[in-house]
Every structure is written in C-alpha cells, then in structure tokens.
Structure 1
C-alpha cells in the first residue's frame, strides 16, 4: 500500500488517469508533453494499492469529480495498458528514451568542398579584405593543398598573420562558423555561380593547348576577329613549351624541381639554345651537367613522338601548378 503522504504530484495524476479508465484517459493523454508522460509512467510504476479514502482525497486535490468507488490495484500495469493502446510504439519509445530522437533537418550542405574547387586567386581576393582571424578560420576548414594554394595568392605580411592565427586557433563555435559560411555562400559562391566564366575559359584553353603554336595563334586570331567574349581569360590560360622562358626564374625552379632529368633531357632535344638555357638555368648544377652530357650525344634514334610527349608532360605540369596557385602563366599576347 502506498501512503498518501509520500505520493508525488505525478503519482497522484497517474492514479486519477488510471481511475478514469482507458477511454477517458486516452483522450487526455494527447494533451500531455513527452516529459509529462514520462513522469506519469515512472510515477505509476511506483504505485501500489491506493485505498478508496486516499483516492477521494487525491481527487479533491485536483478539484475533479470522481464517482467510481473502487480502490486502485496494480496501477503500473493499468497505466502501461492505457499508454500502449493510446500511443504508437514510436511515441512510447521516444517518451521512455528507448530510441534516439529523430535528427533535426540538416541545414545547407558544407561549403568547403565548393570553395576548394574555386580558383585560388578568387578566394584569396575575398580573404584579403577580411580580418586575418576570419581568413585563418576559413583556410583551416580547407584541404591542406587548397589552403596552401590560396595562401600563395596573398601578400607575405598577410600570409604570416594568417598562419600565426591558424597555429593558435581553438575550436570555432558553431554559431560563428555559420556566420562565416553564410557570408562566403553569399559573397563568393553566389557571385561565382552567376558571374564566373573561369570554368568555360579553362575548358577552351585545355583544348587550344593541344594545338601547335602556329595553329594556336591562327585560331586565337580568328576568335578575336569574331569578337569572342572573355578571350583575355582564355589567353591567360594558354601555354606552350616554347613559352617556358617567359616564366619567372622562381616559377621555372619550382616547375623543374618536380620533374625527372630523363623527362627534361628528352623534352630539350632539338630545342633552341635560348630555350634550353632557360630550362637548364632553373636546374641544379649536378642535374644540369647530366642533361648537357646527354644532349651532347645528339638526338639520333630518338623518336620525335617521345620528344613531343615529354614536352606535353612539362606543359601539363606547368598548367596544373598555375591552377594550384603556385605561379601565374604568361599570356600568349606577351609571348608574341
């Protein structure tokens, strides 16, 4: 028997619901919150026999009418029956904590993969006008290679300030991260989707870069006479093997540092002395001596197709590095 003085408010409410019977109790249960229902269930499971006199006093406390005169037995079992017949299994599981609540609908997808696809200079231009702390937060979210490419487009003082803040940066609060993401989505990605023609320029340039230099110049002239829009953007992405001397010394050193001496030797066979010197001046002394020794033996027996393939590999590597922000390509107009 459960003493009346020890009953909690939840237990008293459970006692009244059990006394009301399933039809009436079921209708009332729909108006309870999940937390309240859970409290009712837990309270009912602790109830034992409640005498009629105690039940009447409980009813009086709730200022409700109650005319059925039987005392209460097995309140927990009867409450479970009412709940199970009134609520769905999913609702019961959610109330009793047997099931994880449904995940809240996700917001917009992360923007970082989209930012990594942009030209490094575009994102760099945006970050150059932001506070270094904001720039550090953005770059810390990008893949290392993408972040490094963007850093290279910034001024040296700005780079140093951003890197210093990245080193000491703690976890960014979600609210602050969402503010930055929304700003990037509105200022960078939205502008890119409406105004950015770099993808089309890159596609055209990739096709034109497969042409020999004389034919390339002829096609570019035809495009210019036809009034093709954004032609300067296409021209800035064009590059031929003969344009290697137009790269800065720093760019050439970076380019040939990652290429094998065998590939460079093969590509230089049959080139002019000026072009060969532009390449060799960017290579270490030991590798240069090896390449010069190989070239001194002549090119007899070396297939021209192999030479052209080696040159195309160097051109492709140059274009890739420029896209990653390592350096800028000289335009065809400057080459002329």
Structure 2
C-alpha cells in the first residue's frame, strides 16, 4: 500500500466500506439491498455513499479486494443459512427484537404494518393516530425511537398527552391479539410467521426517555397532568428521567446551588456509590479544606445499604428538578437519555 493510499484510507469505517461496495453494485442491485435495511441504517449508509463518492480508483480497488478476500475466507459453516441467521439475531437482540428484524430480512416474511412507522415523520404519525384510543397511542409511541416519540407527543392534543405517558409507563407486555388489532389499524395483517409470544413494550423507563426529549414547557404540562392522574407514577417517571450520574453535565454554578440546597449527610450518602467523574464534579466545587473534611466524614460512615444510597440520590434529583423548575440551575433536559 502506498503512503498516499494509506492516508486516503486512514480512519475508513465499516459503513464507508459498505458504501463503496454499494456504489459498485449499480442502482438496481443497491436498491434491492437498501430495502432490507432499517431507517437508521439507510441514513448512515446514504451519508457514507456521499462521503466515499470521490475515493480514488486505487482506494476503491483496495476495498473491493479486501471484501473478496474476506469472502474467500468464508466456508459453508461460517456463512450458514436461515437457521444460523435466526440464532445470531436472537442471541444478539433477544427474541422480541429479533422477530421484528427477521420479519424484514428473512425470505417469505412480509413487512408488518407497524414497521412503516419507522419511515414516517412525527407529524404524519400523529395525524394517523390522533383519533385512536390512548392505549393504542401509547403502544405505538413505545414502538418508536424515543426522539420520534417525543416529537409525535408534541403534535398530539394537549389534553391527551398526560394520559398517553401514563399508559406508556404502565405498559409491560402486549398480547398478540392487541398487536393484531394495531396491524388492522395500519391496514395490514400479521405475517403468517409472526411470533405468538407476548411482546415487551413501554414501561417507566420508556416513558422517561420520551419525556427527556420533550420541550421544557411541554414536559411541565404533561407532568402536571400526570400528577393529577397518578402522582406515584409521575414520581417514578421523574426519578428515571434524570439519574444522579447526569449531574456531571451540570455547570459549576448549578452544582454549587444544589450543594447549598441539600444536607451534607445526604450528599455523602448519595456519593457513596457514584462514579469517579460524578464524585469529582462535586469535589471540584469544594475548597481544598472542605473537600478533605467531606471525604474523611464520608469514609467514616463506612459501607451503606444500596437502597439508602439510591434513595439519597433520588431525593437530591428531586431537589435538583425543583431548582431547575425555578430557574436556579439547568439540568439540560434532552441531553440526558
């Protein structure tokens, strides 16, 4: 390899290698491959195809030779067939996610109606589900990427948002009959090979992720509505929206405001099981003398029950959210996912 070629290929990613091969295939063959990819994969591959469009012929030849050599080293066992692919997918993704992926890539399995949601924009999805029952809307939001679900929530009627988030947080499993009903709503039928197992969707963490990505004003409105419906559930979602570790992203002024608002004993308890970067975030905002005394007192407490540590962290996070609501510190909302 020449120095010029080595410099051109320095840092080339696997996605860019795939993009080179796609450009070599021609439009029809490339299109056949792309239709089996997920929306995110299509976006990444498309961007990479633009990036490698100006590769030299020498670089293109090298990538192609590398690919051919890789194929030559394969054998029938390592290539495998449908059973091999299914086993790999299930080991890597778990049964539920694997079933969704296999439904798109295995021969003879049609695309589920709900899969089309991955290709729609947030406004289009909201328009489609606006008139559906909140439980149906909650399941659909749980199927979407958190960022898309947050945008869809923004387009839904204000008086339904809190109930939808409540139902997302309350979801655990969805029976096949319910999924079949959703497929009917999308004007499609289940594939004949669709899994008959219950599917896991939603839950408090899913609701928290969606809420993390909503705009501040919308978040406050939804959480207030949810507090009227189910205060305990609202607190559970709130606890999962921002973890104690997220405080590493709060600026020095905010950390100092928070430290003044909580008892030292509670902060010592919360820092017991915190990561080094998180501990350092607080220690760096203490004077050298105060930091030494704080560390000594914290070590003197000895081992603590994990439940007590987590409780202290949650109490501090609730205090942080109140300070954020009053504008005394900035938590960063959508940065915490």
| Common topology (TM > 0.5) | no
TM-score (norm 2): 0.31
Tell me the TM-score normalised to structure 1 length: 0.31
Name the larger-Rg structure: 1
